[in-house]
A and B are shown apart, each in its own frame.
Chain A
Amino acid sequence: MISVKKLSYAFKIGKKGKENIVPVLHDINLHIERGEIVAIVGRSGSGKSTLLNLISGFIQPEVGSISIDHTQVSGFSETDWADFRLNHLGFIFQSFQLIPSMTAFENVEFPLVLKGVGEQERKQTTIEMLRRVGLESFIHHYPSELSGGQQQRVSIARALILNPPLLLADEPTGSLDSENEKELLSFIKELNKEYGITFLIITHDHEVASIAHRKVEIIDGSLREGRMLHEVQR
């Protein structure tokens, strides 16, 4: 599903011409199979979010290559990335990233709008999705009128609305209480089991990492493969 080869990345800090080079990732090789839940763990500043941003296309790699779903994405233009994200990727963010001026319905519906799906079909699909995440009675609520757990569910509904094969989650439980966290993790497991959706989760929370089939740790920009879930459980 995801294949990262010899990926290195460094931030350039300072004025142009007098930049300081700060290496973040070094020679990363990672292969994720379809249907896997992979947790990337590591300390703050280790480069785990940078890896996710590279895989998401929010930043472009200078060395190495990334391919997702058999598509070589490194070297994509901004427009190509936008199209690819819309059709292949779903995102779950720590701070939900819902558009505050839109209702829960409009937030979830938005990817369908971008894709140019007809109004009737959009309405039906969105309501169905909101029902699936248990928010059918909150469709006209704005994000500010929803709890953290409910906002995260809206965010998940938005991520799932176009049935992407891959979901990228950056600290998905970071803003949730323990009860909502449990609920979210069981939902991720359910989605993985029922629909075969691949998950790449960035977390420093062991509870979250525990649902992954595989744990990958980043230490000082280098990747160290962890044990498989069943091994951990054993």
Chain B
Amino acid sequence: MKFKDKHRFVRSNMKKNKTRVWMTILASTIGCAFLIMLASIGFAIHKTAVDDVMSFRMVNEILIHKDSGEITEKDVKNLEQIKGVEAVTRKKFTPANQLSIGEYYTYANVMSAHMPSEEKAGFELEKGRMPKNENEIVVGYHFAKELRKDMPENFVEGLSEEDAQKKMNELSYDGDLLNTTLAYHIKVDNPEIKADASVKTLEVKIVGIRKKPAREWAVDASVFITEDLHNQVIKILAELDPQAEFADSYEEVKVFTASADDVKEVTEKIENLDYQTYSIIKELKKMNVYFTLFKAGLIFIGAIAVLIASIGIFNTMTMAVTERSQDIGIMKAIGATPKTIKGIFLLESGYIGLWGVGLGTLLAYIISYAVNFVLPIIMEQFVGEKAPEGFMISYIPWSLTAIAVTICMSVTLISGWRPAAKATTVDVLKALRRDV
């Protein structure tokens, strides 16, 4: 019997018991949707956690630490020679950090960077270019906002925190900083040195503004200077305060690989050179183990609903076999093989399962979308707080859909197997009610 004919035969049988078949499909739909929805909560929490971790660091980034001492230029050269390393970024924090333009000033987080490596590692600019000369700098996207005039007395008195913040913004620099020259005040904090001898000022030009951080709430007001400028600042500080000591090591060294796939191999090589490493891949690996167990638990609980639905399929198919035992007997008498009969009933339970899985998956996607759309609104309305950016309650990746479809279809076929096998054992003579 051809598949097309089996399909037609099964469809015609299913049509005869529409209500019963649709109720069974409904049970499968609910079971499947429940499984996907429950697991989707686990997937959403996992995704949110991973996104959160990844929003701060890049996947191909390896943070380097050295227990046995400071990381120097020699170490950087060693790291750069490892196969698979795309760039080694290194930063030194510069002690002098006051910058001003006219009456606006700020104390920023100033650090030197090796600009060619930063470019290779994916340092992105909102506008402008990377520094080429010693007195050129790049500032963070929010640097201008942090450049403020002195606050007059009683400026924010009596205002709420929110209003005070708004009013403070009036003090911020609101012009375009690109190609603007700032005064960089290099000052030592030694009370033994006279005030006029403790400060020296350099002029620096902003040639680039760093790209806005991906996170809405993140504030980037840092200042990136060249290594040459850093050396000059250290030299000036040493002149101003000969007793002061300044380390010549890197405070932050990161290795960037060409792709995320290289991270594992490069990490191993770096660790063999007696460095300690920390990468997002390492962190995610630990996190993934925990979340995989959590998701497996949710899938297991969800599968119970599918099992309950499968009892419905088992009942429906058992009733179908009992009701059609005479038809089965006639079919066997004419020449239908046990394989054909089993195939027909398995196909019928398979179709019930397929409809259930199809509708269940669709329903799960609709509920998932609705929950993610509606719940933040409800939260804002009733709790008065906005949901964090990128927050998800339910997330259905294709892998979850594949897992759910596999579980539901397997359970469906298992529950339909016994009735189908029972159909093959129908006694022809009993079915035909013949006088033997």
Interface string of B324-342 (1 = CB under 8 A from A): 0001011111111111100
- The answer for the CA separation of A24 and B337 in the assembled complex, in Å, is 28
Given known A83-B335, A85-B335, contact A97–B432 (CB-CB < 8 A): yes
CB atoms of A111 and B429 under 8 A apart: no
* B2 contacts partner chain A, Cβ-Cβ < 8 Å: yes
Given known A58-B429, A113-B1, A170-B434, contact A101–B335 (CB-CB < 8 A): no
CB atoms of A111 and B334 under 8 A apart: yes
Residues of B within 8 A of A116 (CB): 1-2, 5
Residue of B nearest to A85 (CB): B335
Among A29-37, A86-94, A146-154, the stretch that binds chain B is: A86-94
CB interface residues, A 95-122, toward B, < 8 Å:
95, 97-101, 110-111, 113-116, 119
- Nearest Cβ on chain A to B247's Cβ, whole angstroms: 86
* A215 contacts partner chain B, Cβ-Cβ < 8 Å: no
- The answer for the CA separation of A59 and B5 in the assembled complex, in Å, is 29
* A49 contacts partner chain B, Cβ-Cβ < 8 Å: yes
- Nearest Cβ on chain A to B367's Cβ, whole angstroms: 38
- Nearest Cβ on chain B to A126's Cβ, whole angstroms: 13
Interface string of A33-76 (1 = CB under 8 A from B): 00000000000100001100100101100000000000000000
Interface string of B118-137 (1 = CB under 8 A from A): 00000000000000000000
Residues of A within 8 A of B1 (CB): 113-114, 116
Interface string of B249-292 (1 = CB under 8 A from A): 00000000000000000000000000000000000000000000
Residues of A within 8 A of B2 (CB): 113, 116
Residue of A nearest to B5 (CB): A113
Residues of B within 8 A of A86 (CB): 334-336
* A21 contacts partner chain B, Cβ-Cβ < 8 Å: no
* B13 contacts partner chain A, Cβ-Cβ < 8 Å: yes
CB atoms of A158 and B337 under 8 A apart: no
- Nearest Cβ on chain A to B410's Cβ, whole angstroms: 27
Residue of A79, A83, A84, A97 near B330 (CB, 8 A) is A97
Residue of B327, B331, B337, B434 near A83 (CB, 8 A) is B337
* B157 contacts partner chain A, Cβ-Cβ < 8 Å: no
* B197 contacts partner chain A, Cβ-Cβ < 8 Å: no
CB atoms of A53 and B333 under 8 A apart: no
CB atoms of B429 and A59 under 8 A apart: yes
- The answer for the CA separation of A93 and B428 in the assembled complex, in Å, is 13
Q: Is the interface of B mostly helix, strand, loop or mixed?
A: helix
* B218 contacts partner chain A, Cβ-Cβ < 8 Å: no
CB atoms of A50 and B436 under 8 A apart: yes
- Nearest Cβ on chain B to A158's Cβ, whole angstroms: 7
Residues of B within 8 A of A170 (CB): 434
Residue of B nearest to A93 (CB): B432
Place the interface of chain A in its size category.
20 to 34
Residue of B13, B327, B330, B436 near A49 (CB, 8 A) is B436
Residues of B within 8 A of A101 (CB): 12-13, 16, 327
Residue of B4, B16, B340, B434 near A114 (CB, 8 A) is B340
Residues of B within 8 A of A98 (CB): 330
CB atoms of B12 and A78 under 8 A apart: no
Residues of A within 8 A of B435 (CB): 44, 49
CB atoms of A158 and B12 under 8 A apart: no
Residues of B within 8 A of A119 (CB): 4
Residue of A78, A95, A158 near B334 (CB, 8 A) is A158
- Nearest Cβ on chain B to A110's Cβ, whole angstroms: 6
- Nearest Cβ on chain B to A21's Cβ, whole angstroms: 15
- The answer for the CA separation of A111 and B340 in the assembled complex, in Å, is 12
- Nearest Cβ on chain B to A77's Cβ, whole angstroms: 9
- The answer for the CA separation of A78 and B332 in the assembled complex, in Å, is 9
Residues of B within 8 A of A99 (CB): 327, 330-331
Residues of B within 8 A of A232 (CB): none
- The answer for the CA separation of A111 and B339 in the assembled complex, in Å, is 15
Residues of A within 8 A of B327 (CB): 99-101
Residues of B within 8 A of A44 (CB): 435
Residue of A nearest to B1 (CB): A114
CB atoms of B334 and A114 under 8 A apart: yes
CB atoms of A82 and B330 under 8 A apart: no
- The answer for the CA separation of A59 and B428 in the assembled complex, in Å, is 9
Given known A59-B429, A101-B13, A101-B327, contact A82–B434 (CB-CB < 8 A): no
Which of B4, B12, B330, B336 counts the most chain A CB atoms within 10 A? Answer: B330
- Nearest Cβ on chain A to B344's Cβ, whole angstroms: 11
- Nearest Cβ on chain B to A221's Cβ, whole angstroms: 13
Residue of A11, A49, A79, A110 near B434 (CB, 8 A) is A49
Given known A53-B429, A101-B12, A101-B13, contact A91–B334 (CB-CB < 8 A): yes
Residue of A nearest to B2 (CB): A116
CB atoms of B12 and A79 under 8 A apart: no
Given known A49-B435, A101-B16, A170-B434, contact A110–B429 (CB-CB < 8 A): no
CB atoms of A97 and B333 under 8 A apart: yes
The 6 closest A-B pairs by CB, nearest first: A86-B335, A82-B337, A85-B335, A113-B5, A79-B337, A58-B428
- In the assembled complex, 24 residue pairs joining A and B whose CB atoms fall closer than 8 Å, in A order, are A49-B434, A53-B434, A78-B338, A79-B337, A82-B335, A83-B337, A86-B336, A93-B434, A95-B433, A97-B329, A97-B333, A97-B432, A99-B330, A99-B331, A101-B13, A101-B16, A110-B334, A113-B5, A114-B1, A115-B335, A116-B1, A116-B2, A116-B5, A170-B434
Give me 7 other A-B pairs in contact (C-beta within 8 A), A87-B335, A111-B335 excluded: A49-B436, A82-B337, A83-B337, A86-B335, A93-B434, A101-B327, A116-B1
